Chains A and B, each alone.
Chain A
Amino acid sequence: MEATKRIDKYLSGQMEAEEKRAFEQELDTNKALAEELALQKDMNRFLEKRRRREALKGELDSLGSEYFGAKAEQGRVVSMVGRRRWALGIAATLLVLVVAWFALRPSLYEQYAAHPPLALVEKSGADALTLAEAEQAFNKGDYRKALPILQEYVANNPDDDLVKVYLGIAKMEIGETPEAREIFSSLATSNSPEIRDFAVWNLALSFLKDGNKEACRKVLQSIPEDSGYYQKAMDLLERLK
């Protein structure tokens, strides 16, 4: 107790010069005193560093879990790293969902371009095999294959307006929208209401495919109420807003 008191006085700088000198001299010879002094120094240091020491320990612990990876991978520890992993996982899933949404979402055009099936074979007995081929190709969506046969058929049957519309659709589908529009426009004044409505509707679709919403809207608005495409046209107008 007495030694403790003296050492504490010495360490806290409360000794007079004389007393201090005597104390330091004694240290040279008194090994036990020197040892106690070292311990009390350490005790003071411990008190000063306690907070820092604990903070450092915590910091090293979390750094360790991060750098000695096996632990986190085996999922034994739910640390901050583990939680961050979960957050990352959820974020990644959301990202995938968003990307998938945009990548897989059919365009407005694709949603509305549900062309009625082509039925050529009933129309003419001649060259039935090639026509059947064209029909099949068209209905399967292989417009490139159907196009030349349709072109030939139209050349031979210039009065078959319905097939002309289909030819236009095939052109529109392979991207030749201006040519397709020419066909649709020329048929928009047809005497047959069936052909007219079909052509006008596809004219609107061709603008939609080009992304020309304004023109598409105008064409859609021109579709009369008695047209079979009126309801579809109104729907599409609503979605184009």
Chain B
Amino acid sequence: MVKRSGCQLPMPISHVVLPLVAFFFLRKTVWRVVACVRYICRKPICMNWQSDETYLKALCKGNSLVLREIYTRFAPQLRSWVLRNNGDDDDAKDLMQEALMAIHDRYCGTDFQFTGNFGGLLMVIAKRMWYDQLSKKKRSQSIRKEELYGQLEEEPELEAAEAAMLEKQRMEVLARVFELLSEQCRQLLTLFSEGEKDPDKIAAQLGIPSANAVYQAKHRCLARWKKLFYQHHKTDA
């Protein structure tokens, strides 16, 4: 008491309010420290990067740690490129996601062999997509398409990138028009895709009179789906 007699504050102020006020004013610094620690934790200082095959496998089968590494390794590069080219963080985030989805759609569950450089392919797809968006938004009316793509032409991954983008577009149109099918069609096709081989079971489950009618329904649904796809794919292109 004697020691502190000069500036003794009532208990609730010194013990509750002051720390709160201090935290309020220092919260930016606190976040910065937290971000710094997280950045250091995320940066694998003594870790070797995974191989391209591992990245691809993580996309196809799922592996959070490896997906995280993909972001750690390539996100900063993509982000700075997008920021230099009239984009913001949101654009970079979307491009990263779309490009990874394109790689997934092209190489997961298909016969296409992945050759070459994962990071290179990712960057080329993202750049290509961004140029497409720019020319669509007409933000760069004065720039001709050839000029936009000019710097990409020398990239060895360009062909693979374009194929991946096409595949992704196909998948997205398929997804979109799948939702336009009838509830029964969607259930039926899903059941088949889940490996249900017995048409009688499917018939019973969906209330279809016979096994034969199940096949007929399946083909009808597939044909309708295809037709919808062609309609929408053309208008997209």
- Supply 15 further A-B pairs (C-beta < 8 A) apart from A4-B226, A67-B72, A113-B2: A4-B222, A42-B170, A47-B190, A47-B193, A50-B175, A53-B105, A53-B171, A59-B62, A67-B71, A67-B75, A68-B79, A70-B88, A73-B31, A97-B15, A105-B15
Residue of B nearest to A74 (CB): B89
Q: B16 at the A/B interface (Cβ < 8 Å)?
A: yes
The SS class assigned to the B binding surface is helix
Tell me whether A97 and B19 are in contact in the complex, defined as CB-CB below 8 angstroms, given that A46-B171, A60-B96, A61-B97 are known contacts: yes
Residues in B1-19 with C-beta less than 8 Å from chain A: 1-5, 14-16, 18-19
User: Separation in Å of the B19 CB from the closest CB of chain A?
Assistant: 4
Contact in complex: B101, A101 (CB < 8 Å): no
Stretch at the interface among B20-28, B130-138, B141-149, B154-162: B20-28
Q: B220 at the A/B interface (Cβ < 8 Å)?
A: yes
A139 to B1, CA, bound (A): 11
Q: B192 at the A/B interface (Cβ < 8 Å)?
A: yes
User: Separation in Å of the B66 CB from the closest CB of chain A?
Assistant: 11
Interface set of B (CB-CB < 8 Å, partner A): 1-5, 14-16, 18-20, 22-23, 27, 30-31, 34-35, 59-60, 62, 64, 67-68, 71-72, 75, 79, 88-90, 92-94, 96-97, 100-101, 104-105, 108-110, 167, 170-171, 174-175, 178, 189-190, 192-193, 218-220, 222-223, 225-226, 229
- Name the contact of A100 in the complex, choosing from B18, B193, B229 (C-beta under 8 A): B18
Contact in complex: B219, A101 (CB < 8 Å): no
Q: A93 at the A/B interface (Cβ < 8 Å)?
A: yes
Contact in complex: B1, A43 (CB < 8 Å): no
Residues in A48-93 with C-beta less than 8 Å from chain B: 48-50, 52-53, 55-57, 59-61, 63-71, 73, 85, 88-89, 92-93
A57 to B105, CA, bound (A): 12
Contact in complex: B3, A46 (CB < 8 Å): no
Contact in complex: B226, A93 (CB < 8 Å): no
Contact in complex: B93, A65 (CB < 8 Å): yes
Q: A1 at the A/B interface (Cβ < 8 Å)?
A: yes
A69 to B110, CA, bound (A): 34
